[in-house]
Chains A and B, each alone.
Chain A
Amino acid sequence: MSFDLAFMLQIFPDMVRAFWLSVQISVITVVISVCMGIILTAARLLGGNIARYSIIGFVEFTRGAPPLVHISIIYFLLPEFGIVFNEFWTGVVALSLIGAGYSVEIFRGAIDAVSFSQLDAAKALGLSRLQSFRLVLLPQAYRLSLPPLTNELANVIKATSLLSVISVNELTKVANDLIFVHFVVVEVIIQLTVLYLVIVGLLMLLSKHLEARLKF
């Protein structure tokens, strides 16, 4: 295996452009899935039976089937109902749904882990239900949910690579195309790996930073 540094520099601009697209998808997806996760968790914990069971069903479905299947469902089925996205937004919608499903479970677990006596104490202090939720439960649950949430968001970021199957020009797709155009494998795969490690590593650093700030 010979190693061609000049070739690595030659493909670098293409890879960085694709990297940027992957970062965009990841950031949009992460924001949407965390927001959706919070809303759905609130609905699951505070809402009625219908809301609860439909959210449980949604969570089971997102956790039970592979992301590739979710992506195909959004890609093939939504146009049948007249909802047409371009590939980029198809990918964002599919990944956001997956991310939301996982984060509901994480948030619910974290809120359950905060003990009941905390709520009793809040009630004894005369806080209303919403106040105790906002001021007592959420800050503690936030801290507990951060490590598993980081893991999950890293998974969502890695799942962006699957969008290559619906021809989103993200990092893996571009790398794959470069392999087939130039028949150079090692250089491309090394760059691909390093670029993914950069995204995921940045996320891990961010979460470590947040966690360190939240320790009390």
Chain B
Amino acid sequence: MDFIFIMEQMPRLLPGLMLTIQLSLIGFLIATILGVPFGIIRAYQISPYLSFSIDFYVFVVRGTPILVQIYAAYFLLPLAGIKLSPFWIGIVALSFNSAGYQIEITRAAIQSIEKGQYEGAFSLGLGKIRTLISIVFPQAFLRMLPPMANEMSNLIKASSVLSVITVFELHKAANAIISDSFKFLEMLFAQAVLYVAFVVLMTQFSIYLEKRIGTKLQIKNFSQR
């Protein structure tokens, strides 16, 4: 293995990594903004039509490969008159995908909160929305963190598929180097290490958040008692 070659190619790989980071963070953020509210709506079953359409959306997202969703965004958006750069098409596809999974995660977390919590909140005279905001959601948030970290790592890995629509992210950058230097081993190793590093960083961040919020919630409960 030629480590000097890897170091020499770093200036070409790192912009790819930056793009991967941007894609996954922006995609995740948009997906959270869409997914969490709809997950809550689904968990509370506000209207049967809305629940059904959310379920259908989740079924389609979970039943089709990310590659198909990316192709769909790439080919269908221009047909609908929306012209975006490949980067933003990638963001649209990734957040479309991730929102589906995040709806499921939020729904499951909210439905896993015990009934006693609602009863306690109502007996304290809190309204429905107030109960959601200050009792149910904080606890659900803690339970959402591990699957959300999973989803984040899936999203990072899914961003590699955007190479097929010419987004110059990490995998594409490494492939470009492979096709003009034919050094497979080095480039595959380098990109695998970079991906694993980013994934591990994000999962560790979630574990840190989990610990911090966990202690914070316990302190709150303690002081309220």
Residues of chain A whose beta carbon lies under 8 Å from any beta carbon of chain B: 1, 60-61, 63-69, 72-73, 76-77, 80, 154, 158-162, 164-165, 172, 175-176, 179, 185-186, 189, 192-193, 196-197, 200-201
Contact = CB atoms under 8 A, between A and B. Distances in A.
Contact of B68 (A73, A154, A165, A172): A172
Contacts of A65: 157, 191-192, 195-196
A66 B160 contact: yes
Nearest to B198: A64
Contact of A193 (B64, B171, B196): B64
Q: Looking at chain B's contact residues, is the secondary structure mostly helix, strand, loop, or mixed?
A: helix
A105 B177 CA distance: 34
Contacts of A164: 67
B68 A189 contact: yes
Given A69-B160, A172-B65, A76 B178 contact: yes
9 contacts: A64-B192, A72-B171, A72-B175, A73-B188, A77-B188, A175-B68, A192-B71, A193-B68, A200-B64
Contacts of B60: 193, 197
A200 B63 contact: yes
Interface in B54-91: 59-60, 62-68, 71-72, 75-76, 79-80
A185 B184 contact: no
A77 B160 CA distance: 19
A158 B157 contact: no
Interface residues of B, number: 36
B68 A192 contact: yes
Interface string B182-206: 0011001001100110011000000
Interface of B: 59-60, 62-68, 71-72, 75-76, 79-80, 153, 156-161, 163-164, 171, 175, 178, 184-185, 188, 191-192, 195-196, 199-200
A175 B175 CA distance: 24
Contacts of B164: 165
A200 B153 CA distance: 22
Contacts of B160: 66-69
